[in-house]
Structure 1
Amino acid sequence: MYSFKTEQGKIFHQLAHWTIRLVPLSFVTGSLVALFLWLLDWATHTRWQHLWLLFLLPLAGMLIWALYHYFGRDAEAGNNLVMDEIHEPGGGVPARMTPLVLLGTIITHLFGGSAGREGTAVQMGGSIADIFAKWYRLKKEDRSVLLMCGMAAGFGAVFGTPVAGALFAMEVLFIGRIKYHALIPCLISAVLADIVCSSYGIIHTHYTIHTKIAQTVTTWIPGFSFDLLLLLKVIGAGIAFGLAGMAFARCTHLLKRGWTRLIPAKWLIPVAGGIVIIGGCYALGNFDYLGLGVVNPNGHNSIVSAFTTGGVDAWSWLWKLLFTAVTLSAGFKGGEVTPLFFIGAALGNTIAVLSGAPADLFAGLGFIAVFAAATNTPVACMVMGVELFGGENILYFAVACFTAYYFSGHSGIYKAQRIAVPKIHRK
C-alpha cells in the first residue's frame, strides 16, 4: 500500500509540474492562434471584396521568399523542423518561426494562395514551446514532450478540437505508434489553448450531419446494429479517400522537386506558382479554390456547401487538390489540413451522389478520412469526427479513417514522419 501511495504521489507531483509549465505556454499559443484566426478572417474577406489582389500573388510569393531567405534560414523547414527536433533535439526551433509563418500565411491568403492554417498554428506552438523549454532548462526528453505540447496547443486551438489536437501531436511523429508518455501534458495544453483562443471571441465553423442513419439489426451479430449496405459504401469511400490523400502528398512532393529542376532561380518559383494559380482560376472561370475554402460567398464549392446535395461540382475535390499542391510546393505558407478537409468533403459529396448515400454523412467522412490518409493519423481524425459532428456515427468515422489510412500507403505530407510499424507486414 505504501509503495502504491508513493507511486501515485510521484505521478501527481509530475503532473503538477507539467501543468505549471503548460499554463503560460498554452496562454501564449492560444492568444497567438486567436490573433492568427482574426487576421486570417480579415485577409479572406478582403480578398473576396477585392479580387484584383489575386494579380499580385506572384509579387506576394516573391516577398515571402525574400522574408525566409534573408531572415528565416532553418525556419523554412516548418512542421518538419518541429518534428525533427522532437525526434532528435538539436539546434532548436527558432523563435523567428512564429512571426515569419504568421506573416507569410496572411500574405498567402490575402493574395489568393490556396492553403490552410494548421501548419501555421503548429509551427507557432512549436516555436513558442522551444522558447519556454530554454527558459525552463529542460532535459532532452522533457523538451521533446514540451514541443509536442506546443503542437497540440496550436492544433487544438486553431480547429477547436482539443482532444484531436492532443492525439495528433502524439500520433503524427510515427506511422504506427503513438507517444503515450506525453498523453496528459498534450491534453492539458490543447484544452487550455482552446479555452484561451475561444475567450477572445473566436468562433469556429460548425459542421452538422443532419442525416439520421436507419439502423438495421443484423441477425448474425446479436446486440449490434448497423446498416450493412451503408457500411460497404463507407468502406469503398474509405479506399477512395486513402487514394486521394496519397495523391495529394505525392503531387505536392513531385511539384516541389519539379519547380527546383525547371527553375534554377529560387525566387522565381513562387512567381511561377502565382502565375499558374491565376491562370487556373481563369481557365475554370471561377475563384472557388483560393484560400481556405471553408465558405464561399457564391454559396457553392466550399467545405460548408459540401454537406448539402449538389453543393459542390463533381471534380471540385481535384481542383482544390491541384491548386493547393501548386501553392504549397511553390513556397507559399499556410498548411495542408483545411484544404484536405475541402478535398475530402467534396470527394465524399461526389461519392454520395454516385452511390445514393447521404451527402452530409459522406462529406463528413471525407473531411476526416482524407486528412487521416495524408497525415497517417487515423485515431486523431476519428476523434476529430466525434468532436466536430457528434458521436452517433463513430462506427463509420472509424471505418472511413482506418481504411483510408491503410490505402494511402506510406506516403504522407510530412517528410519528418518516421515509420515505426509498417502497414504491410512482409514475411
Structure 2
Amino acid sequence: MKNKILNLIVYVSISLLLGLLAGAMASFFGHILLWIGTLRNNHLSVLLPGLVLAGLLIVHVYQKWGRNARAGMSLVFEVAQGHDKKIPLVLLPLIMMTTWLSHLFGASVGREGVAVQMGAAIAQAIEKWTGSAIHRPILIKMGMAAGFAGLFQTPLAASIFAVEVLAVGKFAWKGLPAILLAAFTAAWTSNKLGLEKFQHSLYFPEELPFHQFLLLGLAFGFIGNLFALSLDISKKQANKWLPNPYLRMLIMGVVISALLFFHQGRYTGLGTNLIEASLSGETVYSYDWIIKFLFTVLCLTAGFQGGEVTPLFSIGASSGAFLASLLGFPISLAAGLGYTAVFAAATNTLIAPILIAYEVFGPYHVIESGIVVGIAYILNRKTSIYSQQIP
C-alpha cells in the first residue's frame, strides 16, 4: 500500500511538473511565432526572397550541432515505442529556432512538430534530472501530450493522440491518467500565460442527407492519404536526386521562394488565413487547398522545420469549403469537418481527430464528425506523415 501511494505521488508530481514546463515553453514559442507571422505579413516582399538563405542556415545548424537530433519526430516515436534511444536536450532550442526562422521567411510549414518534440525533450530531461522511475515510453507520451496540449489547448485530443498515433489501430492506454494530467496542466498553463486557443462554434440545426457526409468522408480520406503518400515519395526522390542537403535546399528554396512570391504570400506560414476564410464564409478559391498542399510538401521536403498538422488543418478546411459548393452543403460545416478528417487520414488516427472537433468546434456536430472522420480513417491504414508509425 505504501509503495502504491509513493508511486501515485511520483506520477502526479512528474505530470504536474512536465505540464507546467511544457505549457510555459509552448506559450513562449507560440507568442513569438504569432509575432513572427505578423512581421512576415507586414514585410513579405523584403523577407520572402531570403527564404533560401534561411533554409541553408537551417541545414547548416542541423549539420553542425544537431546531427543526433535531425531525426526529429522519428526519434520521438522510437523512444515512445520503447527503443533504447535518448532525445538530446539540444533538440529543444534547435527545433524552436529553426521553426521560427522557417516561418519568418515564409515557408509553408506547421508548428505541431515543435510542440511534440519540445514536450518529449522536456520529459527526457526530467527523467535525467529527477531519476524518475516512470517507464520511459509513458514519460515520453506524457511529454508528447503536454507539448501538443500546451500549443493547441486541446488536452483531450492531445492525450489520445499520444496513445493512438504510435501504432495504427492500437492504443497504448497504460499511463493514461498521468498523460491526461500532464496535458490538462500544460493547456491550463499556456492559457494563463496568454496564449489564445483557436475555437469556432459550428451549429446547423437542420438535418442533412447522409450521402453528403459519406462523400465528404471519402474525399477527405483521399486528400489526407494523398498528402501522406506525396510527402513520403517527395522526400525519397529528393534524397535520391539531391542527396546533398545544401544543394537540395538551394535548388528547392529558390523555386519555392519564387512561387510563393508570385502568389503574394497567400500560402506562406501555417495557413490559418485559409482556415479563417473557410470557416467564416470568406473568399476561398477552388484551388487553394491544392496549392497549399503542394507548397507544404515542397517545404518539408526541402528541409524547413515546423511540422505538417496546421497546414493539414488548412488543406482540410479549404478543401471542405470547395466541396461544399459542389454538394450544396453548409460551407463552414464542411470546412470544420475537413479540418479534422484530412488530419485523421494523414496521421492514421481516429479518436484524437473527433476530440479535436469537440474541443475546437463544440459538441453540436460530434456525431457527424465521427462519421466523416471514420470514413476518412478507414480509407488509409498504410501511409502516414509519421514514417515511424507502426502499421
TM-score, reference length from structure 2: 0.96
Contact 2:341 2:353 in 1 (8 A): yes
Alignment partner of 2:155 out of 162, 173, 177:
162
> What residue in structure 1 maps to residue 334 of structure 2?
362
Q: CA offsets per residue over residues 40-62 of structure 1, 9 Å max, x none?
A: 01110111111120100000000
- In 2, the alpha carbon distance for the partners of 1:192 and 1:22 equals 8
Which amino acid is the alignment partner of residue 368 of structure 1? T
Aligned to 1:383: 355
For the residues of structure 2 that align with 1:250 and 1:74, how far apart are their CA atoms? 26
* Residues 1-40 of structure 1 aligned to structure 2 (within 5 Å): 14-40=7-33
Question: Quick one: distance in 2 between partners of 1:13 and 1:214?
Answer: 53
**1:334 maps onto 2:306 in alignment:** yes
Task: Return the match for 2:118 from 124, 143, 159.
Answer: 124
Tell me the SS of whatever aligns to 2:387. Answer: coil
Q: 2:48 touches 2:261 (CA, 8 Å); kept in 1?
A: no
2:162 maps to 1:183? no
Q: Which residue of 2 aligns with 1:87?
A: 81
| 2:212 aligned partner | 233
Structure-1 residue corresponding to 2:54: 60
8 Å contact kept, 1:113–1:274: no
For residues 283-332 of structure 1, what are the alpha-carbon distances to aligned partners after superposition, in whole Å with 9 as ceiling and x for unaligned?
Answer: 5x33111001113xxxxxx1111113353111111111100000111111
Q: Does 1:281 align with 2:257?
A: no
Once the two structures are superposed, residues 94-114 of structure 1 have per-residue CA deviations (whole angstroms, 9 ceiling, x without a partner) of: 000000000000000000000
Matches within 5 A, 1:269-418: 269-283=248-262, 285-295=263-273, 302-309=274-281, 311-418=283-390
User: Equivalents in 1 of 2:383, 2:159: separation in Å?
Assistant: 22
Work out which of the residue numbers 256, 261, 277 in structure 1 matches 2:235: 256
Tell whether 2:168 aligns with 1:136: no
> Aligned pair 1:212/2:204, yes or no?
yes
Q: Is the 8 A contact 2:348 2:381 kept in 1?
A: no
Q: Which sits farther off after the overlay, 383-392 or 198-207? A: 198-207
SS of 1:412's equivalent in the other structure is coil
Residues 371 and 11 of structure 1: CA distance in aligned 2, closer, same or farther (over 3 Å): farther
Q: Distance in 1 between matches of 2:81 and 2:195?
A: 33
User: 2:22–2:186: 8 Å Cα contact kept in structure 1?
Assistant: yes
| 1:113 equivalent among 107, 112, 124 | 107
**Residues paired across the two proteins, number:** 390
For residues 105 and 186 of structure 1, the distance between their equivalents in structure 2, rounded to whole angstroms, comes to 26
Which runs of 5 or more residues in structure 2 are unaligned?
none
Equivalent-residue separation in structure 2 for 1:182 and 1:341 (angstroms): 29
After the TM superposition, which segments of 4 or more aligned residues of structure 1 sit over 4 Å from their partners? 9-13
C-alpha separation between the residues in 2 aligned to 1:10 and 1:244?
50
TM-aligned CA deviation for residue 233 of structure 1 = 0.7
Task: Name the Cα RMSD after superposition.
Answer: 1.6
CA distance in 1, matches of 2:82, 2:198: 36
1:77 is paired with a residue whose SS is coil
* Matches of 1:39 and 1:309, distance apart in 2: 29
CA distance in 1, matches of 2:172, 2:381: 21
Structure 2 SS opposite 1:181: coil
| Structure 1 pair 79–264 and aligned structure 2 pair: CA distance change class (3 A) | closer
The verdict on how the C-alpha distance between 1:354 and 1:23 changes in structure 2, with shifts beyond 3 A counting, is same
1:282 shift after superposition:
4.4
* Secondary structure of 1:304 counterpart: helix
**Partner Cα separation in structure 1 for residue 176 and residue 363 of structure 2:** 22
Q: Specify the SS of the correspondent of 1:346.
A: helix
Question: Quick one: which of 98, 101, 122 aligns to 2:92?
Answer: 98
How many Å separate the matches in 1 of 2:94 and 2:364?
A: 41
Q: Which amino acid in structure 1 is aligned with residue 57 of structure 2?
A: L
Give the conservation status (yes or no) of the 8 Å contact 2:78–2:85: no
- TM-score if structure 1 supplies the norm length? 0.88
1:287 is aligned with what amino acid?
A: G
Structure 2 Cα separation of the partners of residues 414 and 250 of structure 1: 11
**Is the contact made by 1:15 and 1:185 (CA closer than 8 Å) also made in structure 2?**
no
Q: CA separation in 2, counterparts of 1:401 and 1:261?
A: 35
Identity score, percent:
35
Find the aligned partners of 1:317 and 1:18 in 2 and give their Cα distance.
Answer: 43
